[in-house]
Amino acid sequence: MGVLLRGRTRPRPFVPGQRRGPVPAGRPGVVRGDGPVRGGASSPIGTTARRGGPFRAFRSGPRAGPDRRTVATRNGLFRGVGAERVPALLAALVLGLVAPLGAVGPHDPVTPAEEVAAAQDAPPAAQPAPVSSAKPVVLTDIPLAGPGDRRIALTFDDGPDPKWTPQVVNALVKYGAKGTFCMVGSQMEKNPEVVSVVVNAGMRICAHSRTHDEQLAKRDPATIEAEITDVGNRVPGTPVTYFRAPGGNWDKQILDVSVAHAMQPLGWAVDPRDWSRPGTDAIVAAVQKQVKPGAVILLHDGGGTRSQTVEALEKLLPWLAAQGYTTDFP
């Protein structure tokens, strides 16, 4: 096999066609007939030793660049054909992942109208159901915590309407106000996207029957229950904790069925009769005259043209805030 010199075996002179034996473990490199040499070789035929493995013949000679069979990166981690392109590919991958994050940052303020428009495409968000404390009495005022409590409740009947309800929500969002929307089941069926606008804006839903039958108290028990529960059945996952009788026409059976389904009967203390369209200034004056701490205010977002109600809100909301009132749910 060779002569042992200073701890290493010197290979025999290379003879074409003769197989070499295994190479002792050591630093891999190009080996010529006179011993291992680091780096490339200029001989026409040479062999490359792998650490602890056999030789493999290849042709060698001057190249105008790194040998593409083995290319070491800065960290020596990548080998093989095309390895020199790995750092560039990694950089491109990192840029591709980071670039979308750059889009998240300061941008123009979102207007209330844009928030409402975005909410139209989203399904109603699930809300936690509050603990029911419904009682068979009509609630017309919010229970107050003391003399300094100036909360009031804004309620809107007969929607959802595809034109007027989003405008009412816009006004509430603009002034940071809360509203409770007393919806009619048949209107919800026609305008489910508007229901999403209301819920996703953080407002609440009150049941206002399925058909807005003002003679509901005269119907049979099964019809009464179906009318009262219809709205809640249309928004699973969204608590509906109030019921307002159409026309404010209550009787004991309607009160009892509402409470049995964990809905507080809801009335009102302030009625500017905006449904009759008396004029924007008349609506504003009526609310300003009748409002008091705790009052539940009746307004409308459906059942007809509600441009006067929307215009009145633009005047009433800043006025109420200036008087120290805050809006809340009933």
115-137 per-position pLDDT tens digit: 556 555 555 555 555 556 899 99
Is the pLDDT at 288 greater than 70, yes or no? Answer: yes
Helices (H), the chain: 86-98, 112-120, 164-174, 185-190, 192-200, 221-234, 252-260, 280-290, 307-322
**Lowest-confidence pick of 96-100, 253-257, 310-314:** 96-100
Query: With bands split at pLDDT 50, 70 and 90, how would you rate the model's confidence at 52?
Result: very low
Domain, as residue range, for 179: 136-327
- Cβ atoms of 155 and 296 within 8 Å: the answer is yes
Q: Quick check: is 2 in a domain? A: no
Question: Residue 222 class from Cβ within 10 Å (0-12 exposed, 13-18 middle, 19+ buried)?
Answer: exposed
Query: With bands split at pLDDT 50, 70 and 90, how would you rate the model's confidence at 252?
Result: very high
4: β partners = 9
Q: Is 164 in a helix, a strand, or coil? A: helix
Q: Quick check: is 201 in a domain? A: yes
Q: Which of 8, 9, 5 is nearest to 20 (CA)?
A: 9
Tell me if the pTM is above 0.75: no
Q: Quick check: is 309 in a domain? A: yes
Tell me the catalytic residues: 157, 300
pLDDT tens-digit map of 171-195: 999 999 999 999 999 999 999 999 9
Is the pLDDT at 43 greater than 80, yes or no? Answer: no
Q: Quick check: is 115 in a domain? A: no
Q: Is 301 in a helix, a strand, or coil? A: coil
Q: For the domain that residue 247 is a member of, what is the CATH number?
A: 3.20.20.370
Q: Quick check: is 181 in a domain? A: yes
Q: Quick check: is 55 in a domain? A: no
Highest mean pLDDT, choosing among 83-97, 115-129, 154-168: 154-168
Give residue 240's pLDDT.
98
Q: Quick check: is 99 in a domain? A: no
Give residue 78's pLDDT.
45
Q: Quick check: is 129 in a domain? A: no
**Residue linked to tokens 């040499």:** 37
Q: How many domains does the chain have?
A: 1
Share of the chain above pLDDT 90, in %: 60
Record the tokens describing residue 13, joined without a space.
């002179």
Query: With bands split at pLDDT 50, 70 and 90, how would you rate the model's confidence at 89?
Result: low
* Average pLDDT for 294-320: 98
Is the pLDDT at 39 greater than 80, yes or no? Answer: no
- One-letter amino acid at 71 equals V
Record the tokens describing residue 231, joined without a space.
């709205």
Residues 6+ apart with CB under 8 A from 109: none
> Which has more pLDDT, 234 or 5?
234
* Average pLDDT for 46-73: 43
Distance of CA 144 to the CA centre of its chain: 34
Number of helices (H) and strands (E) in the chain: give both, helices first: 9, 13
d(CA 198, CA 25): 77
What does the angle CA 32 – CA 36 – CA 42 come to, to the nearest 5 degrees?
40
Give residue 198's pLDDT.
98
- Cβ atoms of 271 and 293 within 8 Å: the answer is no
pLDDT tens-digit map of 10-22: 455 555 555 545 4
